[in-house]
Amino acid sequence: MTDLVDLRPREREVLALMAQGCSNAGIARQLYLTPAAVEKHVSSVFTKLGLSPSPDENRRVHAVLWYLSLTQPAFRRVSVVTQGNRPSGR
């Protein structure tokens, strides 16, 4: 995956709120979803980005870094994604 269009609209909304620092509970409140629905969307984002569970790295952080690299021009100039578990296509 290399583009936001590969995510469904709701997945993009969830990822945008993750990038704003919202917890799953906060996302659920803002989007009027159940916590289980948010967890499903977050899991789908992780899968589409090729982010596997890892004891050493935080998938949520990697997903947000990927999102910011595509949506924030200034962020594109700074690469803070490690060489480990990161979204495919980067």
Domains of the chain, by residue range, sit at 4-76
Region 40-59: mean pLDDT is: 95
- Indicate whether 90 pLDDT > 60: no
pTM over 0.85: no
The pLDDT, as a whole number, for residue 64 is: 95
Answer whether CATH 1.10.10.10 is correct for domain 4-76. yes
Region 30-58: mean pLDDT is: 96
CA 23 – CA 83 distance, rounded (Å): 26
Measured in residues, the chain has a length of 90
The closest of 42, 45, 7, 46 to 27, measured between CA atoms, is 42
Region 41-60: mean pLDDT is: 95
Tokens representing residue 88 in the block? 């495919």
The pLDDT, as a whole number, for residue 38 is: 98
Region 7-28: mean pLDDT is: 97
**What would the pLDDT profile of 75-89 be if each residue is shown by its tens digit?**
765 554 444 555 665
Percentage of residues of the chain with pLDDT beyond 70: 81
User: ∠ CA 16-12-70 to the nearest 5 degrees?
Assistant: 70
